[in-house]
Amino acid sequence: MRVSADRSILFTPTTLGKVELANRVVMAPMMRCRATPDGVPSPLATEYYVQRASAGLIISEGTQPSWQGQGYPRTPGIHTPEQVQAWAKITGAVHQAGGKIAVQLMHVGRVGHRANQYKPVGHVAPSAIAAPGHIMTDTVGRQPKPVPRAATIDDIHDLTGQHRQATSNALSAGFDAVELHCANGYLSHQFLSTGTNQRTDEYGGSARNRCRFVMETVSAMIEAGGVGRIGIRISPGGNPSAIPDDNPLETYTVLLQALPQDKLAWVHIQPDPSGWDPSPLYEFVTAPLILTGGYDGDTAAEALCSTPAQAIGFGRPFISNPDLVQRLRHNHPLATSDPSTYFTPGPEGYTDYPAWSDPE
């Protein structure tokens, strides 16, 4: 079946900062929980990412910049020599397959549990406010999310330093770029939002102050990684981790106007489940824009034509369709993924989804 002319825009090249993409299909970051207990990506991860190397850009699963940044079981890090070496094998294999790959730095802040930390150092956040609900652990089952320790000024400077060092580690491991996870209720998002940041110092209160940690962290990452190598992901509005903001339009307008967008590789916007419309923010995005959230081939092509987006992120479709780019190009049906295997330790639901083959 022929692909419509409109959809063909997905398969044209583009450039995000200093990263040249063969097409505009981005594999969005997705937690998969397949690393070893000490945060080293397993050989399965190499196979997983290489299978998906036809994407214009892969953005890795959330990767912690420190032991403190881990909140879930079996998530990878990029702060020990063993972790960096394992990632270098992955980036090398992806490049050999013709792909580009960025790492997403994810410090969970208050979202996690000590039982999931290889070194149980506990959790720090802007304010001592627990995230609602429970979290799964491999050792003690479901546990309520604990109250985090409120960060001191020294802690905040250390957190920025963690991201600076992790960025340096990522570039030495061969990543093409680094994305700061400033979405989905994790640490950077917690600093931005009035519901989780109740500080009264220079990192809390006004929108400008609540943006300060993110601004300083992004600047540190650019210093370590260079111009055109750093991206940021945001999800304005509500959030599954119950991270409300009194005025998201104000918060994110201030953030976007304060960020050094001329030095960024991209701004990555993910709509939130509350239905809050982020499109009024597009006029404040001057860096290359990635949009992610529920797209198929036709709606992705439409978004590229009707918004400032230069690329479109696909998440879950990449889980069960390692050859998603080719399926979109040729309008092949998409396979359905099995949610029960999203976060399990083995190869099932990870590297065992086949590429398309024509029915005989």
- By annotation, the residues acting in catalysis are 186
SS3 content of the chain, % helix, strand, coil (to 5): 35, 15, 50
Element (H, E) at 208: helix 207-210
**Strand, helix or coil for residue 138:** coil
10 Å CB burial of residue 175 (0-12, 13-18, 19+) is: buried
CA 26 to chain centre: 12
**Strand, helix or coil for residue 142:** coil
Measure the N-to-C terminal CA separation of the chain; round to a whole number of Å: 16
Instruction: List 105's β-bridge partners, or say none.
Output: 63, 180
Give all strands (DSSP E) within 141-229, no chain letters: 143-144, 149-150, 177-182
Element (H, E) at 233: strand 230-234
Is residue 109 a contact partner of residue 186, using CB atoms and an 8 Å limit?
A: yes
Is residue 213 a contact partner of residue 140, using CB atoms and an 8 Å limit?
A: no
With b for 16 or more beta-carbon neighbours within 10 A and e for fewer, the 71-105 pattern comes to bbbbbbbbbbeebbebbeebbebbeeeebbbbbbb
> Which amino acid is located at 187 in the chain?
L
Q: What angle do CA 288, 314, 188 make, to 5 degrees?
A: 60
